[in-house]
Structure formats: C-alpha cells, structure tokens
Structure 1
Amino acid sequence: MTHAAASPRFVGALCALTLSIGVLAACTPAPEPTPTATALFASDEEAFAAAEETYRAYTEALNEVDTSKPQTFEAVYKYTTGDFQNRDRKNFSTLHAERFAMTGDSQLVRFEGLKFDNESTITAEICVDVSKTDVINQDGVSMVPDDRPDVSGAIVKFELDDDEVRIARADRLEPDTCVAG
C-alpha cells in the first residue's frame, strides 16, 4: 500500500518539527573556546631572571627574620614550596624554641641559570656570601662551625606555583665551588 501524497497534518507536523530544530540549533550557544596555555616566560633568560628575583627576595626576607618573632617567618615562606618550605619551617621552629638568634645579612653574589624546562621548573647554581651571618645561642655563643666557608653554593630548583616562581629544593655544592670575591 503506497501513499501518493502525504496528509496535510503530517506535512504540517514535519514543517513544525523542522522549524523547531532550526530554532533550537540557532539558540544553542557555540561551544566555549578551550583556553590555550600560554607560557609564563618567552625565553630561558626571562625564566632565569624571574628565578633570580625570587632568590634575591627570599634572601632579603631571610635577612629580616627575627627568631623571637615567628610572624617574621611568613615573609620567607611566600618564596618557597614543598620540602624546601617544610625544612625552613622546621628550622625556624627549632631556632625559636631553642631561643637562638640569627644575626647579620647574607647576600646573593652569583646566580647562573642552568636549565628551564618550559613547563614548571627552573634550575640554577647560586653562591651566597654568609660571612657576615651568625647563629648565636641564648648565652651569645656562636653555633656556626669555625670552618664554615664565607661563601656557600647550591644547585637550586625552582617550581612554578600559581604563576609564581618558588624555591623547591637546594642541594649544597662542594665548599670550594664558590670563592669569596
């Protein structure tokens, strides 16, 4: 049984359905564009400069720490992350509990960018002059070994954390790597 013509009711329903689909399609919002990750740094040099700036700020904050006032520790923590920050927290807590004082200022004397992986880590070799610093106990006796070098070196790993460069790890270098200048 074939139908030579469609019923007017069927044609009307088909037109209404087609029109509804067209209207719905026109009202459906276009998909949101997927954000493209943009690199935080355009070059290795920019990444190294940001890491050096972070380490300098960390050193300045460290120079302002008063071990009798734990609130001064917070400025240091904003430049660190992970195990490095955990170690700083533990060390400052011990210094505070033992009533040890840090005196003098350290100074970053060399920063050499070694590697930027363009994703999340920056590695650098640093040298810090610690010759004017001391840690003294409550009797005023220095707790720093007599044979401590005046300039201390480390390989420092920085991580990008919320678009901020933070110190994540530091591995000491051999004592003669950095020479006082």
Structure 2
Amino acid sequence: MSASPSPSPTDPKALARSDAEELTRSYYAVVDELGADPEVPLSELKRVATSLELGVREGELEQWRSENWRQTGDTRIADLVVQSVSLDNSNPDAGLVPTVQVDVCYDVSDVDLVDADGKSVVGPDRPDRRWERLHVANYDYKDDPADGWRVATLETLEKTACDG
C-alpha cells in the first residue's frame, strides 16, 4: 500500500495568498537590512516594493542615509492577516492587476534609529506595535504569477495594536 502524496496547492487564490504572505515577510526584512546597512544598494528595495510604496520607502531611506542615521534591531511581525485576494488582471496598464490586501501588526520594540554618534532619533511617543495595511500587487502576473508580487501601497491603520 503506497501513501498518497499530499495535495499541492493549485488554487490560484491560495497560491497568491501564500506568495503575498511570503513577500510581506521579505519586505520587512529588506527594509530592516537597508536601514541598518548603508552599503546595501537601495535598488534592493525593487525586489519587494513597487509603485507608490517604492518611492516613499526610497525617499525615507535616502533621508536616513543623508543624515547618517542607521537602524538597529529588526522589525518583528506579530500578526499577519490576509484580508482579500483579487486576481483581476484585466488592465495592467491602468493598474488593474492581481492584488492581495494584507494587514500586519508589527513590533519595533527592539528597533532603534540612531545618529552617527549612536544617539536615538526616535521620538519617545513611538508605539512599539502598530497595524499596517499592505496592498501587495503583481504587475507581472501573466508572466510571473509566483514571484512578481511587490508591496505597492502601505497605510497605517488606526486600530488597537495586537498583543504580540
């Protein structure tokens, strides 16, 4: 009697969900790396971000680098919830592409932003945990349904932070 192999996920929405979750985790790791090491080229951000979020994050990191600020510690994802999956790819030129909406509660209690002298530049009122909503889009879905996912927009949510 042979054991039947585990079914592999073939549902396109389930695959998109999984790919977006993985990309979301990579996004935070890449942003942490870029904040911590000014020698890492900002072009690395293009592996995990696109569109509006790419421009916003590049601008923020360029400012940090011009001020000689660097990040210490890593952001921890305390909770990650996929809210929706749309595989509508009817008009990529107009931005109508597959999108996964992901809510993330992140924890930055171990993260600091320090100046060249090692002094923190983080305000005392910064919350350690917050929710963000990421719109993870795939502008290359037709040619690259698995690896084309990037964070296109990100917004801070005004809701009670997770327990972590």
Shorter-chain-normalised TM-score: which range?
Answer: 0.7 to 0.9
1:9 is aligned to: none
Percent of residue pairs identical: 24
Residue 73 (structure 2) aligns with: 104
Larger CA deviation: 58-67 vs 130-139: 58-67
Confirm or deny: 8 A CA contact 1:67 1:99 kept in the other structure. no
Partners of 2:106 and 2:43 lie apart in 1 by 21
Measured in 2, the distance between the counterparts of 1:137 and 1:59 equals 21
Please, what is the CA RMSD of the aligned residues?
1.7
Structure (1/2) with the larger helix percentage:
1
Give 1:147's match in structure 2, choosing from 125, 128, 151.
125
Aligned residues of 1:67 and 1:92 also touching (Cα < 8 A): no
TM, length-normalised to structure 2:
0.77
Q: How many residues align?
A: 139
> Residue 103 of structure 2 aligns to a residue in which SS?
strand
39, 58, 73: which one pairs with 1:69? 39
Asked if the contact 2:45–2:58 (Cα under 8 Å) also holds between the matched residues in 1, the reply is no
The structure 1 segments of at least 4 consecutive aligned residues displaced by more than 4 Å after TM superposition are none
Matched residue, 2:4: none
Q: Which has the larger radius of gyration?
A: 1
Letter of the structure 1 residue corresponding to residue 52 of structure 2: D
TM-superposed CA distance for 1:179, in Å, is 2.3
1:169 equivalent to 2:153? Answer yes
Amino acid at match of 1:69: E
Instruction: Give how far 1:70 is off.
Output: 4.5
Checking the alignment, whether the CA contact within 8 Å between 1:67 and 1:100 is kept in structure 2 is no
* d(CA) in 2 for partners of 1:84, 1:177: 24
- CA apart distance, 1:67: 4.4
How far the C-alpha of 1:93 sits from its partner, in A, is: 0.8
In the alignment, which residue of structure 2 is the partner of 1:128?
Answer: 106
Listed one character per residue, the Cα deviations across residues 15-73 of structure 1 (whole Å, up to 9, x for unaligned) are: xxxxxxxxxxxxxxxxxxxxxxxxxx7243322211110011112222322343152x3
User: Structure 1 CA distance, aligned partners of 2:109 and 2:29?
Assistant: 15
Partner of 1:23: none
